[in-house]
Amino acid sequence: MRKIGIPEVEDIARGAALLGAGGGGDPYIGRLVAIGAIKECGPVTLLDPEEVPDDAFIVPFAMMGAPTVLCEKMVGGDEYKALFEIVANHTGKKVFATMPMEAGGLNSLFPVAAAARLGLPLIDCDSMGRAFPELQMATFTIGGISASPIALADEKGNTVIFDTITNKWSEELARAVTMSCGGSVAVTLYNVTGKQIKDYGVKGIVTRSQQLGAAMRNVKNVTDKTPEESFLEFSEGIKLFKGKIVDVLRETRGAFNFGKVVVEGIGECKGHSAFVEFQNENLSATVDGEIVATTPDLITLVDTETFNPVPTDALKYGKRVMIVGLKCFDMWRTPKGLELVGPRYFGIDTDYEPIETRSKGGWK
């Protein structure tokens, strides 16, 4: 048990954006929302999953929709209370705590704001260890846990709650509501017990995000290695490519951001080219025509000077980036995990191969 205040939020925002694999929203916006809540309501208590009673009722909180829309619409402020009251009334259970559904610049920090404003603890756990674009893409689905009842609220005061026959149906119906509400909504789903998060959650994700963020903040203070070497060491990342963005193709479709970013090599990568395709999150990286990384492993673009992550909605011509690969949570590499989030689910014509072997150790 420990407290999350404003200094911790600053680091969590930076580190969670790295784990968001290009998605999960703008860390600047997420940081502002969390800091505002903490200033008004005080620090948030962070609990280790092992500190949570097995029968505790936990309600995860997230924002759903296209990241570009999320940054424009924001959250109205009343959604937290409305959603948690709806869930408590629907289930007849008292909410013990909340938690993030995924890692990302918005979706790691809005639960901090929800916890602060509702006076609830936050659990150091999520259900992805990164960000994914669809609701059924959670480790809880692998564990046979239902996403229902799923509750949604928009900034205008509209709310809805429903039960579905599968988690894929939760995604279909929630996506339809999201589109009707303008492309983004607040959502609670996968209401779980303390036992379930211990069995199927990705533990320590908030702490890991904070540690990564602190290391990125201090990356240029390391004296025995270059900032790039330091970044790759503490992030356990694999350098896939480095270059300048020369083209960005992006469209918002079905409350998702779809697109492709093309990168022309600089430095040791000069004379080579790469591209990354995304659906909210980065899905595959290709260098000189050869796929070097795919989902469910993490593909993240970071600024070559600051090593701050660059979300898909912030990609722009001329920016110099390093394409970095990170290993995913082990559960995603199982047959059930790959069925949910492997490359073929997203229409990528290749079988999954772990990044550490597919990338041949990264760019040398």
Domain with CATH 3.40.1610.10 in the chain: 2-205
Q: What is the pLDDT of residue 66?
A: 65
DSSP label at residue 265? E
Residue with tokens 């999320």: 70
Asked if residue 107 has pLDDT above 80, the reply is: yes
CATH of region 2-205: 3.40.1610.10
Q: Are 199 and 143 contacting, i.e. CB atoms less than 8 angstroms apart?
A: yes
What is the CATH architecture assignment of 236-358? Beta Barrel (2.40)
Q: Are 20 and 313 contacting, i.e. CB atoms less than 8 angstroms apart?
A: no
pLDDT band at 339 (very low <50, low <70, confident <90, very high): very high
Q: What is the pLDDT of residue 73?
A: 63
Q: What is the pLDDT of residue 364?
A: 67
Nearest to 197 by CA among 137, 130, 145, 136: 145
- Report which of residues 105 and 339 the model is more confident about: 339
Tokens of 304: 């070559």
DSSP label at residue 67? H
Mean pLDDT computed over 203-216: 94
pLDDT tens track for 220-256: 888 888 999 999 999 999 999 999 999 998 887 766 7
Strands 44-47 and 122-123: parallel
pLDDT tens track for 292-333: 999 999 999 999 999 999 988 888 999 999 999 999 999 999
Residue 11 dihedral angles phi and psi, to the nearest 5°:
-75, -40
Domain with CATH 2.40.390.10 in the chain: 236-358
